[in-house]
Structure 1
Amino acid sequence: MNKRILVAPLNWGLGHATRCIPIINHLLLNNYTPVIASDGVALALLQKEFPNVESTELPSYNIKYAKKGQYFKLKLLKDSPKLVNAIKAEKKATKRIIESHNIDGIISDNRLGVHSKKIPSVFITHQLQVLSGSTTWLSTKMHQRIIKKFNECWVPDVADEPNLSGKLGHIKDIEIPIKHIGALSRFNANKTESKYDIMILLSGPEPQRTLLEVKLMQAFKTDNRSILFVKGIIETEQTVTRQNGMTIYNFMTGQELEAAINASELVLSRSGYTTVMDLSILGKKAFFIPTPGQFEQEYLAERLQDLKLIPFCKQNDFKLEMLNRVSEFEGLHGFKNETDFKTLFHLF
């Protein structure tokens, strides 16, 4: 019988779930049986992508962003007891799922409580160093203590320069079995005729996703360019509307997104790491608006701007004319990398 591997992405925006799509595909190609475990929109997205793959629900972390970026860290601290309780519940659920679904191995994308001493367990993260301002040393130490509970840590980036994650995914003198597995993306670059001048691609936790949606809808309402707006709201049915010359989707499936991004001249989005990986594989020009208060996204945006690859601005500062700066930047040039999944899966 095929070995059954639990794939459990964190429900924090859509990035953790979407970067698990190539992992699930390669598990199937290598004769493993994936079982999906998550909650909320992350689970809903993967159920739409893999309707024939078994899935189960995990306890939700129920963490929301602050409405104002400067309160992001304070709100996380306030919510920390809720997070601790969620991880405890997650551990109990994992033990139950291992038994009820006959699980032989675990791949956890940033779900802190999804591991077991009885079966091989992998933790996926691009944050060996967790940026949190003046408390970076503490958040990093706490994160690494959790990673040590797993058999391996897979970092979705290359080990050497040039790389995508910078100091997030590269740290010296760490006592954790780390494998840099290369960029993870569900997409492939295809030469296609340009259909959209701008693709707006939203994602991430509330309320910041909605705040940016409202701001961009207002900013582009009189723009006469060809604009595709994907809200990143996973609902039962896909909806497509036309408003002020914009084509608006509530969500797109993976194949639709791949075709749309390939057919877009410019992508306007958050600077989440999964988005960075996707755009690097597709070799696109972009403009980033980091989630306010999220140190990781702010670091990635600043780093890519300093490298003259992609410009960015803060959410409150965005104006349409800022997109003119894109012509001064190189964009992400088809970062080519092939992950050796067959060798990685030998752990199981």
Structure 2
Amino acid sequence: MKKRILVAPLNWGLGHATRSIPIIKALILQNFEPVIASDGAALMLLKKEFPELCFFELPSYNITYTKNGKFLKFKLLLNSLNVANAIKAEREVTKRIVDKQGISGIISDNRLGVYSNKVPSVYVTHQLKVLSGNTTWISTKAHRKFIQNFDVCWVPDVEGPINLSGQLGHPKTYKIATKYIGPLSRFEKKTTTTLNTLLVVLSGPEPQRKLLENKLLAELKHYSGSIIFIKGIMEQEQTKQVSNNITIYNFMTSAQLEKTINESDLVICRSGYTTIMDLAKLNKKAFFIPTPGQFEQEYLAKRLTELKLAPSCKQDEFSIDQLKKTADFEGLQSLDFETDFKTLFSLF
């Protein structure tokens, strides 16, 4: 019988779920049987991608953002008790899944309570250093304490100085067992004709996702090129609206999105790490608008701008004129690294 591996991505935006897709596909190719556990939009997305697999719902962390980014850290601190309760609850659900489903191993992408002392447990994260302003040392220490519950930590990046995550995935000191597995992307670069001048891909928790949607739709009314606008809202059915030069979708499947990004000249999006991995894989030009108050995205956007790879700006500062900056930037580049899934999965 095939060994069953529990794959559990965090439901915080869609990035953790989408970067789990290449891991799930690799498990299937290596003759394992993935079992998926998550909640909310992440769970819905993976059900659409892998309808033939077995799914379980985990307790939600119920992470929401503030309208004013300055208060985000304070709100997250207020919600920490709810998150702690969710972690405790998912520990109990994980125990039941492991026992009743004959699980042989666990791959948790930032779900802090999805591990087991009975089977090898892997934690996937690019945040070995968790940026939170003047409390970075506390948030980093707390995160590392949770990671120590796992057998190994997989970092979706390369180890050397030329990398995608910068100080997030490459702290000066780190004592936990860690493997750099290379950037993860569900996409492949295709040679194709450019059909879209601009592609907008939104993601992330509310209300910031909606605030950026409204901001961009208002600004892009005056844009002359052809635009594909993906709201990043996972629903049962895909919807499509056409308004002048803007075609609006609620979401796209991986195959559709891969095709659309390949056919687009420029991408506007958040500077989430999974998005950066995807755009690097496809060698795309991008303009980043980090989520207000999210230190990680602000750091990544600033870093890529300083490296002259992609321009960025604050959400309230965006205008069409900002897009002119992209002419002076190289665009994101893929890293020459082939993930050795066979060796990684030998743990199980």
TM-score normalized with structure 2 length: 0.99
- Asked if 1:267 corresponds to 2:267, the answer is yes
Counterpart in the other structure of 1:65 = 65
What are the equivalent positions in structure 2 for 1:67-216 lying under 5 Å apart? 67-216=67-216
**Where in structure 2 are the equivalents of 1:287-306 lying within 5 Å?**
287-306=287-306
Contact 1:222–1:244 under 8 Å retained in 2: no
Query: Post-superposition shift, 1:173?
Result: 2.9
Q: Which residue of 2 aligns with 1:38?
A: 38
User: Alpha-carbon deviation of 1:224?
Assistant: 2.1
- The answer to whether the 8 A contact 1:281-1:336 is kept is no
User: Take 1:177 and 1:153, find their aligned partners in 2: how far apart are those partners?
Assistant: 6
Q: C-alpha separation between the residues in 2 aligned to 1:251 and 1:296?
A: 24
- Per mean C-alpha deviation after superposition, the further-off stretch among 33-42 and 90-99 is 90-99
Q: Which amino acid aligns with 1:161?
A: P
Shift of 1:171: 1.6
The SS at the match of 2:34 is: strand
AA in 1 matched with 2:60: S
Q: Give me the CA root mean square deviation.
A: 0.7
Which residue of the partner structure matches residue 344 of structure 2? 344
2:328 equivalent in structure 1: 328
Residue 18 of structure 1 deviates from its aligned partner by 0.1
Q: Report the CA distance between 1:335 and its aligned residue.
A: 2.7
User: How far did 1:116 drift?
Assistant: 0.7
User: In 2, Cα distance between the equivalents of 1:150 and 1:334?
Assistant: 29
Displacement of 1:156 in angstroms is 0.2
Pick which of 10-19 and 171-180 moved more.
171-180
Hey, which bits of structure 1, 4+ residues long, moved more than 6 A?
A: none
Number of positions where the alignment pairs a residue of Structure 1 with one of Structure 2: 348
Instruction: Give the corresponding residue for 1:5.
Output: 5
Amino acid at match of 1:344: L
CA distance in 1, matches of 2:149, 2:274: 24
CA distance in 2, matches of 1:342, 1:243: 47
> Which letter does structure 1 place at the counterpart of 2:30?
N
Asked if 1:233 is matched to 2:233, the reply is yes
Give 5+ residue unaligned stretches, structure 1: none
Instruction: Report the alpha carbon displacement of residue 251 of structure 1 after superposing the two structures with TM.
Output: 0.4
User: How far apart are the structure 1 equivalents of 2:264 and 2:254?
Assistant: 15
Verify the 8 A CA contact 1:283 1:335 in the aligned structure 2.
no
Number of the residue aligned with 1:311: 311
- What secondary structure does 2:213 align onto? helix
Partner of 1:49: 49
SS of corresponding position for 1:104: strand
Query: For residues 235-250 of structure 1, what are the structure 2 equivalents within 5 Å?
Result: 235-250=235-250
Q: 1:102: Cα distance to partner?
A: 1.3
> Which residue number corresponds to residue 222 of structure 1?
222
Q: Distance in 2 between matches of 1:150 and 1:238?
A: 38
Superimposed CA distance per residue, residues 261-312 of structure 1 (whole angstroms, 9 cap, x where no aligned partner): 0000000000000000000000000000000000000000000000010000
Structure 2 residue matching 1:185: 3-state secondary structure: coil
Amino acid at match of 2:46: L
